[in-house]
Amino acid sequence: MHAALALGRLDGALRYMPASAGRILAARRLRQTLLDALHQEGHAFSDQRFAAWFAGLLPLVDPADRPTADLRPPRAMVAALLRALGHSSWAPLASLAVEMGPALMAWADEQGEEDHGSPGLLLEDARDLLAALPAPASAIPFDLLSAVHRAVASSPLFAPGEFVPTPLRIGDWRVTVERPPSPSPRWAVEVLLGEPFRRAGYLPHALPLTGLLRLDAVDDDSEESRAGRAEALLRLAEGLGKDVGEARALAEDAMRLGTDRRSTSRVPALYALLAGFGAMRSAQVERLLGVSRLGLRKMLSTLEEDGCVSRTTIGGVHLYSAARPRSGIEAPPLPASPFTPDALVEFDAAMDEVDALLARLRPNDP
């Protein structure tokens, strides 16, 4: 496991990323953050369903499939996340989150958020939790990860719940069953966790880090828990590194689309928006790019002629998605790690400990 090395490679990739790729990456991370938060809350839906819901065409979950547990309303959650990310220190993400507010066309939630716990207040609590963390003294992130997990374990809001004994009566019989707890809203912490990573110098930008917290490794600092946290960091860093490479390739595609057109053309910006955030309806794009309906129609026609956009239709409304004009594009190599020699020595020592742990955990060969 080489979590710290993967994080160092991601740091280098982000530092040398062109601004055009940064905007696409911000859009991709914004969308994925919204998806991750809604899934963690307990809402079950597909990526395609999310696009239709965000565009105001369908409910996020069919009424017959809605869970019986009290979940925070999806529109209130997304609106709160957009407001919170609008204050991000990473300018491309902050500006996009603010601009995306008017493009949220999802139907109003049936229940008021005050009955389910305000997502906005939850994010404020998460911000306070992270602000109280001690400054990490290490050049690698494992101490910070341990501190975050300890803070989550001691939090009445974010700690994993316990099964609740619930008495039931079935005819003349009385039985007690254990009701599963509501899911931990750890998404609120993960969305803001990029800021401590940036302040500690582990990343140059405060990316949302959804998926980093391990609820099975919050209540102790055993070797197994440390290994689990390192594994989560490795997966996340590698996934974000791939996102950077794909954003660079998509930015190059968008640039080529504008090569043969006048410099004032908004076609590359439209392609970058769809490639970054995903499927959108024309009314959303008009608000985000500030173009007229006629102007957008011409731009979409141009992209369709080039085979760079596809459409699906829901209830008579088109959703437009970016399509790659060519296949087989490999992501450019990531820059070398910018870690200092002292940090790499500390990293090597940490990796030796991880290797020793894995050797002890690995079953004996017959």
pLDDT tens digit sequence for 184-235: 999 999 999 999 999 999 999 999 999 999 988 777 778 888 899 999 999 9
Could you tell me the pLDDT band of residue 261, with boundaries at 50, 70 and 90? Answer: low
CA distances in angstroms from 72 to 13, 75, 85, 117, listed in the order given: 36, 9, 18, 7
Count of domains observed in the chain: 1
366 located within any domain: no
pLDDT beyond 70 at 345: no
Interval 60-99: pLDDT, tens: 998 877 765 688 999 999 999 999 999 999 999 999 999 9
Q: Is 334 helix (H, G, I), strand (E, B) or coil?
A: coil
Interval 133-192: pLDDT, tens: 998 888 889 999 999 999 999 999 998 866 555 566 666 676 665 555 678 999 999 999
39 located within any domain: yes
**Tally: H helices and E strands in the chain:** 14, 4
34 located within any domain: yes
H-run or E-run covering 309: strand 309-314
76 located within any domain: yes
Structural domain that includes position 117: 3-355
Interval 301-343: pLDDT, tens: 989 888 899 999 999 999 999 997 654 344 445 455 555 555 5
8 Å CB contact between 128 and 158: no
Kindly tell me the sign of the dihedral angle through the C-alpha atoms of 105, 42, 10, 86: positive
363 located within any domain: no
8 Å CB contact between 26 and 92: yes
25 located within any domain: yes
362 located within any domain: no
8 Å CB contact between 274 and 322: yes
H-run or E-run covering 293: helix 293-305
pLDDT beyond 70 at 105: yes
Written as six digits, the tokens of 166 are: 């619930």
Written as six digits, the tokens of 113 are: 């958020």
H-run or E-run covering 318: strand 317-322
Q: Is 179 helix (H, G, I), strand (E, B) or coil?
A: strand
**Residues 222, 227, 233, 238, Cα dihedral to 10°:** 180
Written as six digits, the tokens of 20 are: 């055009």
> Can you give the three-state secondary structure of 141-178, one letter per residue?
CHHHHHHHHHHHHCCCCCCCCCCEEEEEEECCEEEEEE
307 located within any domain: yes
Contacts of 296 (CB under 8 A, 6+ apart): 270, 282, 285, 286, 289
Written as six digits, the tokens of 16 are: 């040398």
